[in-house]
Each structure stands twice: as structure tokens, then as C-alpha cells.
Structure 1
């Protein structure tokens, strides 16, 4: 269910420049040793392919690995799955989860397509139906996921998600299991330093599904809430910075996700402010039916490891997770959450590029430009901002101006070096998109 919980915003469906125009030399894309033919849908770039298989969350001494281990240990009796292949079909990624045909997540502006039949998964839920179909009843699934996105301190085109689900029988036995587990979890939380701002399990705006008995659905929703309140205690209870003896505050909010009902978001009050942590809900029955496990009901949650790790470890820039600088990697030890100590702050250097698009052009999406920058300069770009856009009233030609902030995480960049780097970006822009530099 992570796609429902982690989609950060909706975007307009836009046609992007095809791979054949931007990357005309190769005829195949090689990912993890397998070659895939390219076609007019292909938009995955070399910079993204280079990240496939890194599996940062599987390094026990990496911040993502430390967090992954902490969550896995909390759900110690859940089957924890890792290392699933990142190349999936549109059916796995979208159709099996009930995505409508016009959902923005399907757009080539949002997702990295290898060809029309394959893409890099955009969420761990691409494996959800197959996991339910194997008969898993209590499971965690962790993986690297890929989305075309802007460049800034909190967004990166490769990140890591973790989702969990628990399945209960829809009949009397399932109800008894739920009641017993709810009593156990409630007793644990009653003894714990936590204050919960709750919402009704079911409401007219957050209802049970027609296929579910409302009383049973309410028990499932309660089990979900109790389970995640306990997880919030594990992650944040001793680290909230509120002072000795001050309880952790957790807030539940009604939400809408296409793939769960009822649905919720969870926030914690951490170091003086409310922070969104994850989304969750009762799984749509059609998902379980599609997995051929009817007569069951399930809850699921999904979270982004980077989002939580940046909070817990005080890591200010998402690019740092990919750093191999010993000044970063040596700060972390398996099993320990420690505060990141900045080892340097190098000055930023801004460069602008203004250009005319081809007349009658369908346009150049912001994510096209960000991918070009990443492919050209790697992680030397700290952020990219569109600072001007207009259409000439006489020629009807469109103009855009982007500001690129170049800043290395590991060393100072001279102005001459940045000029040379930026010149490569401008050259690539002209070659791959046929723009006219202003």
C-alpha cells in the first residue's frame, strides 16, 4: 500500500521527450545484468540505473539500515522480506492495485520506464498482491523505489520504503484473534508514556468497505492503530526531546487513499513540531480477492525510510545517504541512533540557464530538466528551481529559466569549476532537447 501513502502530490499528465530523442545511441538498457529493449516510452537515465542494486537499507551500519533493523525488530514475529527485483510490469505496479488509467503516477513524467512493458517500481506495493497470494499473514517488505522528482534537500529519485501488513480471517476465529491482540496492545500502551489524539475507527467520511462487516472492520482498524502507536514509541519515545517524563504525543488524522478504507495518517510531536510519519488503512478487499485470498481482511501501512532517518539522525540533506565519505559513514554504528555532526559547509554557487523551447513544442517538464542535471553532474546539484516561465506574445515561443545551485557535500567548488560543470549542463540541454539558449 505504500504508493497510496507515499505519493507526495498529484501531477498533471504531460508528454515528455522520448528516449529515442534524448538518448539515441543505445538500443537496450542493462539493469542488474539483464538487457531490456528501449522504445518510445523509455525515460530511465544512466544516473538512475547506476543506483540500482545499491540497497543502502541492507547495510547494518548505514542510517537507513539501522532504522530498517529497528522496525524489523519491533515487528519481530513478522516475515521481513528484502532484495526483491526492482524491475516490474505496469500491471504489478498499477493495474493489480486498481490504479485508474489516468492516475498521474502512471505518467512518464512521474515514473522511470525501461520500456512500455517494464518500469522501475515506484513503490513497494508493486509486490503486494504476490505477497498476499503466497499466504503471508504478517509481513514487512522493504525495497528501493524510483520516482522522477525535483532536486532539493528532501527529494531524491531513488529512495527506500518499508511497508507492513497483517491479515486476519473474516470469521469468528479472526474476530477472536483481533480482540485478544487488541487487549494485549492496549495494556502495553496503558503502561507507556504516550498521549494519543485519536479519531473514530469508522466515520461517514472514513467508512468501512461495503464488503466488510463494520464491527469487524472497526476491530481491524483498532489493531492497526494500536500496533502503530507501539511502533511510534519504539522509534520516537526516548528521543522526542520533550524532557524527562514528558510523554510522546501521537496524532491520528482521517485520510483518503484509493487502496484502503478506512484510511489514516500518523503524526508525532517531535522536537517541538508535528511531523507526518506514515499512512495506513484497511486494505481494499479487491486487493485480497485479486491475490486469491478471499474471506480475509487486512491492514497495511507504508513509510519512507529516508523521511524518518532524516528526523531521527538529524541529517539535513537527502544526498548524504549516498555519500561514501568516511566523515559521514564513520559516524554511524549498527543498532544505534546518533545525531549527525556536520563535518563541513561548503558555499553554494548559483547558475542560471534560460532558453526558448521549439515552437509548437509540447514542453519540457521540470522532471526532464532535473534528470538531465543529475545525469550530467550527479549529486553536485543541491537544488533546482524554475524561476521564470513565459510565452512570447509575438512568436508564441515558450521560455524557461532554471536556477541550479551547485554545492558539493564533500569539498569546495571553485567558480571556474562550477562554470565548467554548468557549461556541460547547457550543452546537454541543447543536444538532448533542441532548445535555443537565450
Structure 2
């Protein structure tokens, strides 16, 4: 149940091309120690110190931080009947992260090019869904799970290797269906009193069916409760922002989706600045998924998942995802718990762009290998990295890659000497780790 940065479980699977032989980073045989626990390195080990340094940051738990503010707004909207879960450890097994969620053995998310491994037996979770079976088994009927998650990814203003997800679920017993019907009426009345327009383009036909083993009446009630509950949550998050932008109704759109673990399944979008933004994925839980979690077969559940950064960037008008990790008081002091305020840029320092190109030898260099090395060397001083050329020599058959690296600090102007030193070190790391020939 892999989510994108938008949502923990509900995503379109994005297949990545797997080229040639992949060389891991584990050239140092010394054990890896994380949070006082030692992990023996092996051929899977690829997590680097710059990533591990984020494990103790917990920005989603700091009350005045934008990520925590969004989390709290959602938790407050659902109220005390939903149990917040915020302290599950980020180191999990591949079984938790993939196998229990029925990821295919060849799913690209399993590859060390996409995920961070301490070794073949332990990894950093790539989604909050790694804990889903555990939480359902606990018997909690309503819950909201928030956590930091880790993925090897590109470098630009909207992608970062560490981000935050929230997923929520509600399990309904047969004896509670009459009460649920009344609750649905109350939620519908409440939505009718606020400035929101919901365009429901979803269907429940052949392409997005109810599950045949469900009691149809119960499934209809749970599906309606899912939609009313999430429409209310979306209005709680975005309603004031829409009002500040001319007083037009908040426009929300529901469309069909496909996720193997829910049925029916939906994606929900919000119109913002003339564009439809995907906010979350959701659906009625597949009964097989609940059965794996030891949930009694007569119960029906709904679930949703979302990315906290995506929502926070819209609500607070934060232009660069790196800012969420800033410890600059000029950033942190702009925000207060429970309040959504627009970020005021305190400066725009100049960028410095430099290109790096290299010939490959006998080892293919995955793009995420390049990104990890850049992050390890330059950290938050890199704004974006993009591939600008991929070339195979017609005579020799040798392949080359070229990347453009944009350096920009969010806190000061970088000197030419600083940038040159960083750029030179990136080239040296690529040469030492992957035996490339710098051009």
C-alpha cells in the first residue's frame, strides 16, 4: 500500500526504469548504529548519515511548525473519538513495509534505488502503511496515524527524501449502522451550511464496484460516511483560504481511482489558483485486507491517506520544501500552533548553477545515487538537480550522463569558493564510489 508524497497508500504505481548493475554504498563493513541499536552492513545497506540525521527531528510533533499545525488541524476536526498515533518507530522490516501489504516481489519500491535500507532485514519505512496491520490488529476502531517516511527521490522544490504522511481509518460494526445513518444526515446538513461545492464524478459501477461479500446497505452507509467526513475535513483545512481569495465557494471534486486494497476507491481534489490539486486518496477497505489484520468479517471500514507537506505548502504558501527543515528563527517564528498564516519570504538569495558530466564504466549509476551523493555533500544548499544529457557514443558505445546542480542557500549568499568546493567534492564522491570518469 505505497503512497506518494501526496498519500501513504493510495497512489498510481509509478514504474521506474531499472538499468544494468546497481552498486550499493556498503563499502564500509563497520556495523551501522542507529538509536543505540547496531545493524550489520551488507550489500543492501545504502542509508547515509545525512538521512539518518532526520530520524530525531520530529518536526511533525513541534506545535508551532507548519507540518504539526496541519496534523493538529486534522486531528482536531475528527475529534477525540479518533485516536492519534504519532510515535511508531521509523525502522521496520521489509515484511512490514511490503510483504504484509501484498507488494509484488518485483515492485520497484523494494529496490535499493528507491528505498533506504540499513541491511536486507531492516529499512526506513517508505509509508505510514507499514504500521497499518499493527494498528488494525490493536482493535482501535477510529485512528489517525502520522509519521515521517523516507524515500530516495529527486531534488527540487517539491521533493525531499524525508516527508510526512497521515492516514486515517474507521471500522464500523453492524450494530452501529443505524447510528451511522443518523450521523451521515447530520454531516450532510452541516456541509449544506458552509461555502463548499462538491462535484462528485465518482461512480460505483463495474469499474469501481462495491465488494460482493459486503452487506450492500452497510457498504453504502460506510461509503457515504467516508465522503461526508472527508468533505468536512477538507473544508476545515481550506475553507478559510478560499474565503480570503474572493469569497467563492471551496470547490472539491471526487473522481474514481483504483487501489487494490480498497473498493470502491476515490481520489479527492481541490481547485486552487485555477488548478485541481490532488489532496488525498481513500476508499472502503477491502475485506481481505481487514482479515489479514484480524478484524471480524462482519465489520466494514473506510480509510484515507494524505501527504502533510503538500497541504502545508498550499495553506502556508511555502515555495520550497527544504524550508520545513530550516532552523532559522526567521522561518520558525512566523508560525503559531492552531493558526494558518501565509509565509513571508525573508530573502531571496542568488543561485549558482553548475554542470557535472561523467562517463560510465561497468556500473550503472541510478539517478537516486547521484541525488544522495549531492545531498550528502551539499545538504540544504542545493535547490534542484536535473539530468540535462544522456549520451551513448556511436563508435565506442560508452555512455555519459550530465546533471545541472542549482546551489542556493535559504539563509545567506553562497560564495563562489564555497560552491566550487562543494561541486568538486560531489565529483570526487561519484568517481570514488562508482568509478566514473569525470568529463
> Alignment partner of 1:237: what SS?
helix
Trace 1:352-431 onto structure 2 (pairs within 5 A): 352-359=355-362, 361=363, 363-431=364-432
1:201/1:221 contact within 8 Å kept: no
> Equivalent of 1:136, from 115, 134, 140?
140
State the superposition RMSD in angstroms. 1.7
Report the equivalent of 1:61: 64
Note closer, same or farther for the CA distance 1:132–1:16 as it changes in structure 2 (3 Å cut).
farther
Which residue in the other structure is 1:223 paired with? 225
Change (3 A) 1:292 1:13: farther
Q: 1:46 offset after TM fit, Å?
A: 1.2
**Per-residue deviation at 1:201?**
5.0
1:276 matched to 2:278: yes
Bigger shift: 196-205 or 400-409? 196-205
Residue in 1 that maps onto 2:301: 298
Normalising by structure 2, report the TM-score.
0.95
- SS in structure 2 of the partner of residue 122 of structure 1: coil
Distance 1:151 1:6 in 2: 20
* Residue of structure 2 in register with 1:9 after alignment: 14
Give the match's secondary structure for 2:350: coil
User: 1:33 aligns to what?
Assistant: 36
| Superposition pairs of residues 6-405 of structure 1, within 5 angstroms | 6=11, 9-13=14-18, 17-19=22-24, 22-76=25-79, 77-169=81-173, 171=174, 173-200=175-202, 202-241=204-243, 243=245, 245-295=247-297, 296-359=299-362, 361=363, 363-405=364-406
Q: Distance in 2 between matches of 1:26 and 1:382?
A: 32
SS at match of 1:393: coil
Query: Which stretch has the larger CA shift, 314-323 or 63-72?
Result: 63-72
**Partners in 2 of 1:39 and 1:266 — Cα distance?**
42
1:371 Cα deviation from its structure 2 partner? 0.5
Q: 1:330 to 1:4 in 2, by over 3 A?
A: same
Say whether the 8 Å CA contact 1:15–1:109 is kept in structure 2: no
What is the rounded CA distance, in whole Å, between the counterparts of 1:340 and 1:254 in structure 2?
34
Give how far 1:78 is off: 0.3
CA distance in 1, matches of 2:215, 2:203: 13
Q: Which shows bigger deviation, 313-322 or 62-71?
A: 62-71
Post-superposition shift, 1:402? 0.7
Aligned counterparts of 2:271 and 2:38: Cα–Cα separation in 1:
47
Change over 3 Å in CA distance of 1:62–1:252 after alignment to 2: same
Kept in 2: contact 1:146–1:157 (CA 8 A) = yes
Give the drift of 1:13.
4.2
Structure 1 position 87, deviation (Å): 0.5
- Under a length normalisation based on structure 1, what TM-score does the superposition of the two structures give? 0.95
CA contact (8 A) 1:14 1:107 kept: no
**Equivalents in 1 of 2:370, 2:31: separation in Å?**
22
In structure 2, relative to structure 1, the CA distance for the partners of 1:110 and 1:15 (3 Å cut) is farther
- Asked whether the 8 Å contact 2:26–2:41 carries over to 1, the reply is no
In structure 2, relative to structure 1, the CA distance for the partners of 1:142 and 1:209 (3 Å cut) is same
User: Cα offset for 1:241?
Assistant: 4.9
> In 2 relative to 1, CA 200–155 (structure 1 residues): closer, same or farther, beyond 3 Å?
closer
Taking the aligned partners of 2:46 and 2:432, their CA distance within structure 1 comes to 16
Structure 1: 5+ residue stretches without partners: none
Partner Cα distance (2:329, 2:418) in 1: 24
Q: Distance in 2 between matches of 1:115 and 1:40?
A: 7
Give, in angstroms, the shift of residue 217 of structure 1. 2.1
Q: Secondary structure of 1:159's partner?
A: strand
Aligned residue pairs total: 432
